[in-house]
Amino acid sequence: MALIVHKYGGTSMGSTERIRNVAKRVAKWVRAGHQLVVVPSAMSGETNRLLGLAKELFPGTPSDAVCRELDMLASTGEQVSVGLLSIALQAEGVPAVSFTGWQVPVRTDSAYTKARIESIADERVRGELAAGKVVVITGFQGIDDKGHITTLGRGGSDTSAVAVAAALKADECLIYTDVDGVYTTDPRVVPEARRLRSVSFEEMLEMASMGSKVLQIRSVEFAGKYHVPLRVLSSFTPWDIPIEEEARSGTLITFEEDEKMEQAIVSGIAFNRDEAKISILGVPDRPGIAFQILGAVADANIEVDVIIQNVSHEGKTDFSFTVHRNDYARTMEVLKTQVLPNLGTDRVEGDTRICKVSIVGIGMRSHGGIASKMFRALAEDGINIQMISTSEIKTSVVIDEKYMELAVRALHRAFELDQPPAPAQ
Ligand code: ASP
Ligand code: MG
């Protein structure tokens, strides 16, 4: 007998018919002798609908007091889901009980609309499990130390499920969703993209731009911190497929390099169009310049990603960096008002038509020559690299956004990601 946490996303909970399917699937696991805790999201579209109503009444930027009410409101979506699922389970003849965040309780800080889980009590849940019930717990919500309801940020049910699994020391946390796992890259860009049978949680974090479409990134951080065995799998397989088959499907998020079932050097290609590049030309090359520029940007709470400074000529250099596209206009404003006047240059250029493409793989730690293989593949397709940044398990390039798909396809091919990697030795 194992203790298993299942998480079902909004699409899987989208109608009474789908909820019945979830109940049948959960019942199958219970009948196989397992203890089950289930964490569902709100029915698809429900959170948007609720927040839309609030927006009609309060169109402006919500104050803290309004954010409190947004959480009061948005958390009801999940309360509906747990009630319905618990009823559906009982209709299947499976004893079940549902709890909201405050009933468990799931304790969080007081940062309304983006609260962080601090602790989860396990007595009540364990008591019900021991009494032979399936325990259905709301995703996305918790309670702060003053008794206010909080929510964890959009997509937060993933984090709820992982946190519940960590608190209960569950044997596995299965995230059922509308995709069947994590892919080598977005299959809409590369049709040959392959589902990964396993991926390390560090790779998953680095692939955030792809991975976050599958899981809330904070849930992956949580799984990494508390070593929660996590699997992402489809909720659209027939509910009655054999449990052994289901338990091996999807993508397993692993912790140890040697636990990896597949030994690819590069596991995936991530990409995004979220960034903009800013270059300041003719900057005096003297100590303190990077701080002068980026300090002001940081003070404005703007996050900088890739940075390069060129070789200087006659004491002048060019300095470029990228920020999120949403922060582009504000960054320009900060530079023009606070930075450039002290630098003796007014030459600043911006480019919002860039993208970032990255290769990610823990194998890069122990293998050389991977970055150069990346650069060669891009060169062969005539793609000019504007900026490069590296970490231990990732190399990213900034290129013209019109070459994004070409670059992703070229790299997918160059690293043979369409081929299953050799099995681990
Ligand atoms: N219902 C919440 C949302 O739509 C939480 C979740 O689905 O994970 O963001
Ligand atoms: Mg989700």
CB-neighbour burial class of residue 164 (10 A; exposed 0-12, middle 13-18, buried 19+): buried
Tokens coding 135: 């325990």
Residue minimizing CA distance to atom 4 of ligand 1: 47
- Which pLDDT does position 310 carry in this prediction? 83
- Which pLDDT does position 133 carry in this prediction? 98
SS (H, E, C) the chain: CCEEEEEECCCCCCCHHHHHHHHHHHHHHHHCCCEEEEEECCCCCHHHHHHHHHHHHCCCCCCHHHHHHHHHHHHHHHHHHHHHHHHHHHHCCCCEEEECCCCCCEEECCCCCCCCEEEECCHHHHHHHHCCCEEEECCCEEECCCCCEEECCCCCHHHHHHHHHHHHCCCEEEEEECCCCCECCCCCCCCCCCECCEEEHHHHHHCHHHHHHHCCHHHHHHHHHHCCCEEEEECCCCCCCCHHHHHHCCEEEECCHHHCCECCCCCEEEEECCEEEEEEEEEECCCCHHHHHHHHHHHCCCCEEEEEECCCECCEEEEEEEEEHHHHHHHHHHHHHHHHHHHCCCCEEEECCEEEEEEECHHHHCCCCHHHHHHHHHHHCCCCCCEEEEECCEEEEEEEHHHHHHHHHHHHHHCCCCCCCCECC
User: Cβ contacts of residue 44 below 8 Å, gap of 6+?
Assistant: 9, 10, 11, 13, 14
How far apart, in whole angstroms, are the C-alpha atoms of residue 381 and residue 413? 12
Which ligand is the nearest neighbour of the Cα of 14?
A: 1
Q: Which of 154, 164, 219, 222 most suits a substitution to test ligand 1, by most atoms within 8 Å of the C-beta?
A: 154
Distance 342 CA to ligand 2 centre (A): 46
Tokens 């964890």, located at residue: 152
Longest dimension (CA), the chain: 81
List residues near ligand 1 (CB under 6 A): 10, 41-42, 47, 77, 139-140, 154-158
Tokens 């309780």, located at residue: 105
Which domains are present in the chain?
Answer: 3-259 (3.40.1160.10), 263-420 (3.30.2130.10)
Q: Closest ligand 1 atom, CA of 216?
A: 8
Q: Closest ligand 1 atom, CA of 158?
A: 8
Statement: the pTM of the whole predicted model exceeds 0.85: yes
- Which pLDDT does position 291 carry in this prediction? 93
How far apart, in whole angstroms, are the C-alpha atoms of residue 100 and residue 106? 9
Q: How many beta carbons lie within 10 A of that of residue 337, not counting itself? A: 10
Ordered mean pLDDT values, 10 residues apiece, the chain (425 residues) = 96 97 98 98 98 97 96 98 98 98 98 96 98 98 98 96 97 94 92 93 82 81 92 95 96 72 80 94 90 94 91 88 95 95 90 96 89 96 95 94 97 92 58
- Which pLDDT does position 425 carry in this prediction? 46
Distance 41 CA to ligand 2 centre (A): 8
